[in-house]
Homo-oligomer: A and B are copies of this chain.
Amino acid sequence: MASTVQRHPLAAQAAEVLLSRIKDGEWPLGHKLPGETTLAVQLGVGRSTVREAIRELAGKGVLDPRQGAGVFVTAVDVVEDWESKLRRASIVSVIEARVAIEAEAAALAAQRRTAADVRALRRALAQRVVAGQTPEEHIDADMVLHRAVVAAARNDVLLELFDGFVPRVRTAMIDMLKLKPIAAPEADHAAHAALVQAIADRQPREAAETSRTHLSALKAALA
């Protein structure tokens, strides 16, 4: 790895070295690291640099420095950001997960929706039609409607999951829309209107099915 350009500051490099040694089990969970001065000699850097490396890992939740006692390992690995995980995943996988969440949410929404939910859905539906011409505006209006569906399901976990998917899906859909505009806008709008109607009519099965077929078409278009 010494061949790569040292584009990272020394402190960041030191943090990487420490993290890898923690991952290798050199200092198990809960154990104490050597003193800062010792580490500085081992890593061949100054003490303040070691301190900054420790702070960086403390920010990630891996280390916990306690004055007078020492630096202790509080986690063996960094919890990877959900966002970066999604970025690595294929768009098809993400859409499939989105189908799972939205279809279930649509069914729950059909059971739990209030009158206010239906009003919000109808408003988002109307907004989707009159939305601007640019792909961004169109997708954003679409997302507002889909989010309203999930919100009507009254489930925080599902809503959090949906929000987590939005950035990844949004960019993918915008890219697609720039390459190939929607073939049949009327059919597209009809599918959304049917979804809203099924939720308003308290038809869980129909709502889930409508959502599923609509998103499956999207998956086919993106694949």
A binding-site residues for B, Cβ under 8 Å: 9, 11, 15, 48, 51-53, 55-61, 65, 67, 79, 81-83, 85-86, 89-90, 93-94, 96-97, 99-101, 103-105, 108, 155-158, 160-161
Contact = CB atoms under 8 A, between A and B. Distances in A.
Given A48-B48, A79-B82, A100-B105, A158 B93 contact: yes
Contacts of A156: 89-90, 93
Nearest to A99: B104
A89 B59 contact: no
Contacts of A161: 97, 161
A213 to B, nearest CB: 14
Given A9-B67, A93-B156, A96-B155, A55 B59 contact: yes
Contact of A100 (B59, B90, B158): B158
A39 to B, nearest CB: 15
13 contacts: A48-B51, A51-B52, A53-B55, A56-B59, A59-B60, A60-B60, A79-B82, A85-B160, A89-B156, A89-B157, A93-B156, A93-B157, A97-B158
A151 to B, nearest CB: 13
Contacts of A61: 81
A97 B58 contact: no
A177 B174 CA distance: 48
A175 to B, nearest CB: 19
Contact of A58 (B56, B85, B90, B157): B56
Contacts of A67: 9
A18 to B, nearest CB: 12
Contacts of A15: 59
A52 B9 CA distance: 14
A155 B60 contact: no
A104 B97 CA distance: 8
A82 B161 CA distance: 10
Given A56-B59, A82-B82, A93-B158, 16 more contacts: A9-B65, A52-B52, A52-B55, A55-B55, A56-B58, A59-B59, A93-B155, A94-B157, A96-B157, A96-B158, A97-B157, A97-B158, A99-B104, A100-B101, A100-B104, A101-B101
